Structure 1
């Protein structure tokens, strides 16, 4: 490919870069039916829900900074108190009616607002590292608010069998001895990612690059041996080049200024791949 042609595609690709401070939101589920048992039920004083979202539905890896659920009707002014949100990566693909917090990370504890219709996004107190694209994401939500309403918030859900369970009680808080109720009603979820890792597959070849956005160390790994990597800025200038002889490499980008770049990955077999990189 001629140099001028490469720069044309370079500039064209940069048009679609996301802002430097943006996070990528992944929404799973598009169903419009509603119910009030999951993720948090306000019809009862105590409740819990466990949900599995498949890796193929998430499509990226990175740091999950917030989680959200869509309240469609009956927003309730009083916040839900004593809410604990747990996350874990898991090979489990089918829900069971018994669960515990083993393997889970407590990512949020506190009150949750439910007073506005639409997506209610909760910033995690402990961002969750979802860093294995082969594993599913399990989300366990437990609340012991101690109060209820006869008009609880209704959340949008999709019909996905064997992925969700829930628990509710007037007087008994959830613990690992409680039996959950399996349901095909899986609540739609929105995950906000930062420090993304992207996996791309072209034919039999695959490449993974992360984090993106990146502050200093940028990692590339894949199924082919890498010969070199060239970084280009918005003006088409080659601002950094390094040679390698490995399938797994790390590059220090700390000396690059904040901005958008394209990284051209050159393989030992003569092929190449260009990916977008955001430098913070």
Structure 2
């Protein structure tokens, strides 16, 4: 195929293959972790499963390049501006969690505190550096090149921004379900059939919309930053109570919808100012 953008039918094939790899690799590794129970090897398979979306993204990219296809039209490429937006989006992601936790406390929920986060850091053999590196690697880095960098631009070929966020949120929530059965995970501690477990699962939708906005604003790096900020702040605060989870989910939904409604995607903005007018074509060079 030529280097022009692939047709939506090609995107559907890519999405099918990506989804099969992401779910197949992740769920297979997590099935082993579930079977091993509390064995030390279960931790390795738990971590391995997080890389399903990344492997799927790499396969799609290799496949696209072998076919000579350009990246999808809605792909947000890396730009230097992304480096400037990364700390801003880190703050925005973290602020949605802090604001929700604060509002929940004002309504009678648990108080904010870092005791849970400190305990986890102290329990980590590598200390703070290892803890935050793991938080970055297992989740943001292992997922965002797939969900946002690969799936998002292909879904946008036929869907609006809100529908893409909703679809990716639901898929994301389903993809995470096996974690409820792996010892030592936050999901397992909450339980799938509890209010907290149900809210944590549902929260994948507004969070997906928030991370989709970040991707639209500055690409995969921005999506990684937002994902990392939300996950890390949730863990540091030890968010588990239903009222807190519900409030955070509400704040993220409002912020995400507001940002999607007001901020134009980077892929739709000219990179270097207005396009130059087309040069006149000599008569002799017209269609032959």
TM over 0.5: no
Specify the structure having the higher radius of gyration (Cα). 1
Structure showing greater relative contact order (alpha-carbon pairs closer than 8 Å, 6 or more residues apart): 2
Is the strand fraction higher in 1 or 2?
A: 1
Is the helix fraction higher in 1 or 2?
A: 2
Q: Which range, TM-score by smaller chain?
A: under 0.3
Q: Please give the TM-score of this superposition, normalised by the length of structure 2.
A: 0.19
Q: Please give the TM-score of this superposition, normalised by the length of structure 1.
A: 0.20
